[in-house]
Amino acid sequence: EVQLVESGGGLVQPGRSLSLSCTASGFTFDDYTMHWVRQLPGRGLEWVSGITSNSGAIAYADFVKGRFIISRDNAKNSLYLHITRLRPEDTAFYYCAKARRVEGVRWALFDSWGHGTLVTVSS
Partner 1 sequence: EIVLTQSPGTLSLSPGERATLSCRASLSIRNSYLAWYQQKPGQAPRLLIYGASSRATGIPDRFSGSGSGTDFTLTISRLEPEDFAVYYCQQYDSSPLTFGGGTKVEI
Residues that bind partner 1 (CB under 8 A): 35, 44-47, 50, 59, 61-62, 95, 100, 102, 105-116
Partners of 95 in the beta sheet? 37
Q: Which is nearer to partner 1, 11 or 109 (CB)?
A: 109
Q: Minimum distance between the CB of residue 47 and partner 1, rounded to whole angstroms?
A: 4
Q: Minimum distance between the CB of residue 75 and partner 1, rounded to whole angstroms?
A: 26
Q: Minimum distance between the CB of residue 122 and partner 1, rounded to whole angstroms?
A: 22
In angstroms, rounded to a whole number, what is the distance separating the alpha carbons of residues 4 and 37?
A: 13
Q: Which is nearer to partner 1, 104 or 123 (CB)?
A: 104
Q: Which is nearer to partner 1, 4 or 86 (CB)?
A: 4
Q: Which is nearer to partner 1, 44 or 75 (CB)?
A: 44
In angstroms, rounded to a whole number, what is the distance separating the alpha carbons of residues 92 and 88?
A: 9
Look at residue 64 and give its three-state secondary structure: helix
Instruction: With beta carbons less than 8 A apart as the criterion, state whether 43 and 37 touch.
Output: no
